Structure 1
């Protein structure tokens, strides 16, 4: 197998990080990923129970969660915690307002 250098590859047209544009990042740089679907979950709380307890639940049952009233809820994007927020009502529908953005340890920020 022959060793290939960078000059042997075609330019894909995909902008990559370069020393000249490190400080010139904008939302337009993310345009290629704007249409990528993501799964967003707002978790009010969690509860753990056995299958037999689960089968006893019926209409009107109350499920106790591990959170207190007024405590922030967790917001996940693709099963990754990204923020915390509060439940709000918007036009008779439930919504979430983000109150804290969670920075991951491996993002280098």
Structure 2
């Protein structure tokens, strides 16, 4: 099994705040739209990119694959 994570940003919230959230709640992240999106495979950072939104569709454009992280 391969676990893929795409990280837009992060934040720290006390569990009591998470439990108070309802559907549609907004969580502020520590990044901006200019910051790279990070791509992790099995908890290893392998690439950076950016999220592209086109209407209701989202995609990830990879701008950098980290050296020595991906093998064919």
TM range (shorter): 0.7 to 0.9
Q: How many residues align?
A: 69
Higher relative contact order (CA 8 A, sep 6+): 2
Unaligned runs of 5+ in 2: none
**Bigger helix fraction:** 1
Structure with higher Rg: it is 1
**Bigger strand fraction:** 2
Deviating 4+ runs (over 4 angstroms): none
TM-score (norm 2): 0.78
State the superposition RMSD in angstroms. Answer: 2.2
TM-score (norm 1): 0.54
Unaligned runs of 5+ in 1: 1-36, 105-109
Deviations 1:30-61 (A, max 9, x none): xxxxxxx4222111111111111111111232
